[in-house]
């Protein structure tokens, strides 16, 4: 690991003022520190934001939504009673991610900012346009088979690895940031960028901007009774998704009045298509409908490397997530969905 300057500001304003183009903000460190150890990232200045005040709070907003500070730990948020009531599939996604130890360290802001787990991005000796603009993309034609099937470009076929962000995108979450020009809010759905010709521009953040909070709108709670997060992975514990899906439905008399869908691990951001959601509105839930929705959501999907299997897996995952959501959110969620080894459960509507 290269030498670097380490700063611990005591306010968001001081943190932003300390930022330089060769700096990185540090929260829980579960992603940045690993990349610094391997040499995939080498900031000259690390700005530790863990001493900033009031960023570790979960608060109910005046309109009935939730404001979640950027330093809230994933494990604390997953068991927060207000989140469990308003957005149980967000808790389900958090509990499906990483390991218990990592969830105890990882932060909300860090989860939003985590880098792709493409092995060529993580290998300092590999060509990666996302890490070194203009260097090429060794992932194309490489040994990685879990690459993008939607939104990829000639410059990059990486995927966003976050579980957490998939239901957030479906529920219309917002991200509050502070920067040199003051504060602003970015829709989570637009927060992560597709690669195009500039894959190094991973998010919509401007230089020096710092994530300070995440907000869930009050209307998210109207989906709580019929929402699920489904993660398909090679093993139940401590594995990134091959494909994941968040499905949230409003239902009245057995009929869907509104639906929200997002796919994970298929693109550089959670994948949403408004026309797929529109197919659900006013319809009776059945497998034929869900298959049409899946086809619309995956329209234009194409393999990168040997990922043809991933398109079919994504289609099946969407259908199954919609079936689970239509059946209703269970009263209790296991800490590791589908695992027989979880020692306890988390109450949702019990």
**Distances 51 to 8, 11, 28, 106 between C-alpha atoms, Å:** 7, 8, 12, 15
**Distances 292 to 118, 202, 297, 322 between C-alpha atoms, Å:** 31, 31, 9, 12
For residue 333, is pLDDT > 90? no
Q: What is the pTM of this model?
A: 0.95
pLDDT of residue 108: 97
**pLDDT, average across residues 94-117:** 94
Contact 150, 267 (CB under 8 A): yes
**Boundaries of every domain in the chain:** 221-329
232-255 pLDDT, tens per residue?
999 877 899 999 999 999 999 999
**Regarding the domain with residue range 221-329, which homologous superfamily does it belong to in the CATH classification?**
CO dehydrogenase flavoprotein, C-terminal domain (3.30.390.50)
159-170 pLDDT, tens per residue?
999 999 999 999
Q: What does DSSP say about strands 182-187 and 210-216: parallel, antiparallel, or unpaired?
A: unpaired
Indicate the angle between helix axes 308-327 and 287-297, nearest 10 degrees.
140
Higher-confidence residue: 316 or 333? 316
For residue 304, is pLDDT > 90? yes
For residue 296, is pLDDT > 90? yes
Distance CA 174, CA 142 (A): 36
């Amino acid at each position: 690991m290269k030498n670097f300057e380490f700063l611990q500001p005591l306010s968001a304003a001081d943190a932003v003022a300390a930022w330089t183009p060769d700096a990185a903000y540090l929260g829980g460190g579960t992603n940045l520190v690993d990349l610094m150890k391997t040499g995939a990232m080498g900031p000259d200045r690390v700005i530790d934001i863990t001493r900033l005040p009031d960023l570790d709070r979960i608060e109910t907003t005046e309109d009935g939504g939730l404001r979640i500070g950027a330093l809230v730990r994933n494990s604390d948020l997953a068991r927060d009673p207000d989140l469990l009531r308003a957005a149980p599939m967000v808790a389900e996604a958090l509990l499906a991610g990483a390991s218990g130890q990592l969830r105890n360290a990882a932060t909300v802001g860090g989860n939003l900012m985590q880098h792709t787990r493409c092995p060529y991005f993580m290998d300092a000796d590999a060509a990666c346009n996302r890490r070194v603009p203009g260097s090429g993309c060794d992932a194309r034609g490489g040994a990685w088979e879990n690459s993008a099937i939607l939104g990829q470009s000639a410059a990059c076929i990486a995927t966003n690895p976050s579980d957490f962000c998939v239901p957030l995108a479906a529920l219309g979450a917002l991200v509050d940031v502070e920067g040199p020009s003051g504060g602003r809010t970015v829709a989570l759905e637009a927060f992560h960028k597709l690669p195009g010709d500039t894959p190094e521009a991973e998010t919509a953040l401007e230089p020096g901007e710092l994530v300070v909070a995440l907000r869930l709108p009050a209307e998210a709670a109207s989906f709580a009774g019929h929402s699920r997060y489904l993660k398909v992975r090679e093993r139940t514990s401590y594995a990134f998704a091959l494909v994941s899906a968040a499905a949230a439905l409003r239902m009245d008399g057995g009929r869907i009045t509104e639906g929200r869908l997002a796919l994970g691990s298929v693109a550089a951001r959670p994948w949403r298509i408004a026309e797929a959601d529109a197919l659900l509105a006013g319809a009776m839930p059945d497998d034929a409908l869900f298959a049409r929705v899946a086809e619309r959501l995956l329209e234009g999907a194409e393999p990168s490397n040997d990922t043809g299997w991933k398109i079919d897996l994504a289609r099946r995952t969407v259908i199954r997530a919609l079936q689970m959501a239509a059946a209703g959110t269970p009263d209790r969620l296991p800490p590791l969905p589908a695992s027989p080894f979880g020692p306890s459960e988390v109450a949702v509507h019990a």
